[in-house]
Amino acid sequence: MDVREYIEANAADFFADLKEWLSIPSISGNPAHAVDVRRSAAWLSGHLRETGFPTVEVWETPGLPAVFAEWPAADPGAPTVLVYGHHDVQPIEPIEEWVTDPFAPIEDGDRLIGRGSSDDKGQVLFHSLGLRAGIAASAATAPPVTIKMLVEGEEESGSPNLPDLLRAHADRLACDVIVVSDTTMWLADVPSMCTGMRGLTEAELALYGPDTDLHSGSFGGAVPNPLHAMASLLAGLHDTDGRVTLPGFYDGVVPLSDEERRLFAKLPFDEGEWLATAGNSRAPHGERGFTTLERVWARPTAEVNGMWGGHTGPGGKTIVPSEAHAKVSFRLVAGQDPAEVQRSFRAYVEANTPPGIRAEVALPSGGFRACFSPIDSAGVRAARRAMERAFGTDVLFTREGGSGPEADLSEILDAPLVFVAVGLDSDRIHAPNEKVEMPLLLKGAEAAAYMWDEFATALR
Amino acid sequence: MDVREYIEANAADFFADLKEWLSIPSISGNPAHAVDVRRSAAWLSGHLRETGFPTVEVWETPGLPAVFAEWPAADPGAPTVLVYGHHDVQPIEPIEEWVTDPFAPIEDGDRLIGRGSSDDKGQVLFHSLGLRAGIAASAATAPPVTIKMLVEGEEESGSPNLPDLLRAHADRLACDVIVVSDTTMWLADVPSMCTGMRGLTEAELALYGPDTDLHSGSFGGAVPNPLHAMASLLAGLHDTDGRVTLPGFYDGVVPLSDEERRLFAKLPFDEGEWLATAGNSRAPHGERGFTTLERVWARPTAEVNGMWGGHTGPGGKTIVPSEAHAKVSFRLVAGQDPAEVQRSFRAYVEANTPPGIRAEVALPSGGFRACFSPIDSAGVRAARRAMERAFGTDVLFTREGGSGPEADLSEILDAPLVFVAVGLDSDRIHAPNEKVEMPLLLKGAEAAAYMWDEFATALR
Ligand SMILES: [Zn+2]
Ligand SMILES: [Zn+2]
């Protein structure tokens, strides 16, 4: 029985298991559901034991628990792979927009509808099906690589305890590569792998002028107006080419390779459709010399998220306002240090605040780095071969514009990332009526089965 | 009995009359006080009749009434002077900050404390005392010029019915010069005359990007951000010399004469003290090449009064916002057309809004022109001589940064303005504990008495 036959023969059981798991409302963001997140961890533990993992543990945190499992390779010299995913799910609000019960998963043709079906329970579970298929097809009793799984319970709440958990268990989590199955492919018939996610850092800027709002008849034109200073500071963040002007901002940025740009360009992309998804934006806009996909995936940004000051109510009020405020955030790419960007922003503000205005820069948190998975790494090449065997077609590459805890995983465990996932952008994750394409979950299982063999050879 | 002796002899009666008038709470901005504004008009009518005006009329408007009076010169070839003032007063809020009853005027040394004592009842009334003093001193039975008075009842409410009133009675208000007594002098011992007031026009700008706020991870860097566009548009309103960049903005601006700048510079001015009154502003700021006083009095401005958009609440929210808004106003000087400035702003926005952003410019009202009283005009020179005779010292010149209905007066009646007033910036007009310096009101009466003679000669 080959991998594909095994998966077909076991598909019904696989989806029955998945529906059972999806019925547990493991919403990490709602304290009332903490007990359900614990039930979810217990369910997964049982499932992984049944799958054959000799070691399965629930790891407590100050918040909600993660599940760890390990299945050593028969060959002690084989490489080690860590699979990362999460068993918590997003809240279900607005509830009235769900056409089915979010925690009573039902099939609708090829689709399985339910909260967590794509993000991320379905994508965690295809690994156990793939693992069993690979073992069955090879008539072995253990996988060709040591497989570890870490399935956390707080990803949808920002993974607040993950870094500490990773550090505390760094020895047991040691691995040669980290497989993340929590992203999407380009389209059902255009399989792809993610090669990076942008990081983020934020700042809040306050500018203070006169102690009180002044009458512009008496004072206008002779005292500094903090709204003018704010407009100039924010306008000055970009040059006419759409590049960020902060000194050193692009230092160390890992450039897009020609090969990755070439492969991005092969993705079928309709800019008009994309603009429609972008709130019916009327035109693309951004850094000169890059395509829309390159801009959102692989280029760093400065974005003003909010701005306010002076009279904002109805009617006119001819004042020189006392204060101006703005919230700014920076999307980062590989090679950028969030703390360095914050320092550069602070220095920029200090250097460009006019006399008579006092500036305060608040830096709410350190932010997080981008994560990056180069397409020419051994792990990505091996995983891509496995994906191509499963899908029977070329596998392209994408990135994601925002990110979760992946950079922490890679940094703390000092291992490269490989993104293998079969979700779609149309899966409505984080939204009502989340679904997953069931045939794609089976393709994911198949790719996983091949991947262990590919890794056994490529990473040795 | 000369003018000064007459005034001294009648000072007590004058202040008794003024206190009676000040006791009437003629707050035009509060409909509950409409009856008091009418009582105030009736009181003034009676007073002007007692003064000797053969014609005294209450002129109704769709709002609150004005008082008109006329006393023809004996010589039918004598020039005609129209005195403008107002008999309504500002509201008294915050009431708790008044140390006396605002409508029970009391004397405190040289000061008379009460709402309207300086703005504008005290300054209207010194004209009747001056007129009687002049007639008594010359042993005449009529003034040397035809004197008309127009004392409106809605100035503190924006004079909404004044233009129509002026147009309806243009024949009866016809005059060679308009004397406005509703401003201030530089200091009690530095008498001065106002030579202009800035006009105003306003605009509201809305910029629309995506239909909804977008997640900056997914879209940031590839769609236009309306806050970026807003910052650029507002920052671009000024060049590095602090000049307004709107095309044609300075076309036709009447420049400050060297003589007026020389006289401004003679005013004792402590920039540190001025900054303290400007909400403790930390530095002056404005158009290069002009002093602080020139900037607030005689130079046009563009001022951002309010600005808002995106996330303005606590914490961060990494969005590309859907909208950005700003309120902008322009202070204008002689030679600028408010409608033209609005058109130029609209054209500037249209020319500088980036692709993908939709701009809407709302123009709430036409605004109003600056008023201007050139220092070398016959009327100003005559009034200045009268002031110098009364004060026994040089009279300097000031301007005001904001204005009331004066430009309408001059335009509709087609007569030049002359500002003769004895209020002080320290009089706390529009604020709690408004006061007037009683000796200055008597100086105002004396200047008025001399002024009729000066006008009779100079304007013939
Ligand atoms: Zn997820
Ligand atoms: Zn007034």
Contact A233/A345 with Cβ under 8 angstroms? no
Regarding beta strands A80-86 and A111-113, do their DSSP bridges make them parallel or antiparallel, or are they unpaired?
unpaired
User: Given B218, B304, B310, which is nearest A305 (Cβ)?
Assistant: B310
Average pLDDT, stretch A126-131? 98
| pLDDT over threshold 90, residue A404 | no
Do B278 and A304 count as a contact with CB atoms less than 8 A apart?
A: no
Residue A421 and residue A373: Cα distance in Å, rounded? 14
Residue A365 and residue A383: Cα distance in Å, rounded? 35
**Interface membership of B234 toward A (CB under 8 Å):** yes
- pLDDT tier, A120 (very low <50, low <70, confident <90, very high otherwise): very high
Residue A108 and residue A99: Cα distance in Å, rounded? 12
| pLDDT over threshold 80, residue A92 | yes
Residue A37 and residue A88: Cα distance in Å, rounded? 6
Domains plus CATH for chain B? 3-197+370-458 (3.40.630.10), 199-253+300-362 (3.30.70.360)
- pLDDT tier, A315 (very low <50, low <70, confident <90, very high otherwise): confident
Residue A177 bridge partners (DSSP): A81
Residue B367: the pLDDT is 86
Residue A269 and residue A283: Cα distance in Å, rounded? 15
**Interface membership of A323 toward B (CB under 8 Å):** no
Question: Among residues 35-94 of chain B, which lie with CB inside 8 Å of chain A?
Answer: none
Question: Among residues 167-226 of chain A, which lie with CB inside 8 Å of chain B?
Answer: 198, 200, 202, 204, 209-225
- pLDDT tier, A288 (very low <50, low <70, confident <90, very high otherwise): very high
Residue A114 and residue B196: Cα distance in Å, rounded? 72
Contacts of B284 in chain A (CB under 8 A): 222-223, 356
DSSP string, B216-255: HHHHTTTS--HHHHHHHHHHTTB-TTS-B-STTTTTTPPP
- pLDDT tier, A405 (very low <50, low <70, confident <90, very high otherwise): confident
Query: Any residues with CB less than 8 A from the CB of A164 and at least 6 apart, and which?
Result: A61
Do B223 and A275 count as a contact with CB atoms less than 8 A apart?
A: yes
H/E stretch holding A113 reads: strand A111-113
Do A221 and B403 count as a contact with CB atoms less than 8 A apart?
A: no
Residue A365: the pLDDT is 79
pLDDT (tens digit, 9 = 90+) per residue, A4-47? 999 999 999 999 999 999 999 999 999 999 999 999 999 999 99
Closest ligand, as measured to the CA of A90: 1
Laid out side by side, the sheet with A417-419 consists of A55-59, A66-71, A146-152, A80-86, A177-180, A417-419
DSSP structure class, residue A86: E
Residue B316: the pLDDT is 85
The amino acid occupying position A70 is E
Length of chain B as a residue count: 460
Instruction: For residue A362, count CB atoms less than 10 angstroms from its CB and return exposed for 0-12, middle for 13-18, buried for 19 or more.
Output: exposed
The amino acid occupying position A76 is P
Query: Any residues with CB less than 8 A from the CB of A201 and at least 6 apart, and which?
Result: A329, A330, A332, A338, A339, A341, A342, A366, A367, A368
Q: For chain A, what is the mean pLDDT?
A: 96
Q: For each of chain B's 460 residues, which pLDDT tens digit applies?
A: 899 999 999 999 999 999 999 999 999 999 999 999 999 999 999 999 999 999 999 999 999 999 999 999 999 999 999 999 999 999 998 899 999 999 999 999 999 999 999 999 999 999 999 999 999 999 999 999 999 999 999 999 989 999 999 999 999 999 999 999 999 999 999 999 999 999 999 999 999 999 999 999 899 999 999 999 999 999 999 999 999 999 999 999 999 999 999 999 999 999 999 999 999 999 999 999 999 999 999 999 999 999 999 999 988 889 999 999 999 999 999 999 999 999 999 999 999 999 999 999 999 877 889 999 999 999 999 999 999 999 999 999 999 987 778 899 999 999 999 999 999 999 999 999 999 999 999 999 999 999 999 999 999 8
Average pLDDT, stretch A57-83? 97
ipTM: 0.90
Do B295 and A221 count as a contact with CB atoms less than 8 A apart?
A: yes
Question: Angle A438-458/A378-391 helices, nearest 10 degrees?
Answer: 140
Cα(A293) to ligand 1 centroid in Å equals: 21
**Per-residue tokens: A383:** 């995983």
Residue A58: the pLDDT is 98
Cis peptide before B120 (omega within 30 of 0): yes
Residue A66: the pLDDT is 98
Closest ligand, as measured to the CA of B157: 2
Residue B306 and residue A220: Cα distance in Å, rounded? 14
Distance from CA of B18 to the nearest CA of A (A): 29
pLDDT (tens digit, 9 = 90+) per residue, A410-446? 999 999 999 999 999 999 999 999 999 999 999 999 9
Do B312 and A306 count as a contact with CB atoms less than 8 A apart?
A: yes
